[in-house]
Amino acid sequence: MSEFIIEAYRDAAADAGSRIYPLVRAAKLKSDFARVFSAHLGHLINGDRFETQGLLVTGPSGSGKTTEIGALIRRFNDDAIILPDGSRARFAECVLKGIGTWKDLGKATANALGYPVSAKARLTQSDIWDIVVREAKLAGIVGIHFDEAQHIFRAKSDADRLAVLDSFKTLMKSHDWPLILIFSGVPELNGYMKSEPQLYRLLHRIRFSDISVPEDYQTIHEIVGSYALRAGAQVDQDLMTQDFFDRLVAASASRWGLLLEVTKGAVAVSQHAGAETLTRDHFADWWVSKTECARVATPFMHSGYLTLYRKDHPFVKALDD
DSSP string spanning 25-90? Answer: HHHHHHHHHHHHHHHHHHHHHHT------EEEEE--TTSSHHHHHHHHHHHHHHH-PBPTTSPBPE
pLDDT tens over the chain, length 321 residues: 788 888 877 877 777 555 667 788 889 999 999 999 999 999 999 999 999 999 999 999 889 999 999 999 999 999 999 999 999 999 999 998 877 777 788 889 999 999 988 767 778 878 889 999 999 999 999 999 999 999 999 888 898 899 899 999 999 999 999 999 999 999 999 999 999 999 999 999 999 999 999 999 999 999 999 999 988 999 999 999 999 999 999 999 999 999 999 999 999 999 999 999 999 999 999 999 988 888 998 999 999 888 876 676 677 654 443
Q: Are 247 and 157 members of one domain? A: no
7 lies in a domain?
no
Look up the domain containing 276 and give its range.
211-320
Single pTM value for the model: 0.87
Q: Are 144 and 238 members of one domain? A: no
5 lies in a domain?
no
Query: Domain boundary residue among 207, 234, 265?
Result: 207
Q: Are 233 and 250 members of one domain? A: yes
**pLDDT on residue 307:** 80
Give the type of residue at 319. Answer: L
Q: Are 188 and 224 members of one domain? A: no
170 lies in a domain?
yes
Q: Are 117 and 193 members of one domain? A: yes
Taking CA atoms, 153 is separated from 62, 96, 108, 216, in Å, by: 20, 10, 15, 34
Q: Are 275 and 195 members of one domain? A: no
**Most distant CA pair in the chain: distance in Å?**
65
**pLDDT on residue 124:** 80
Q: Are 75 and 132 members of one domain? A: yes
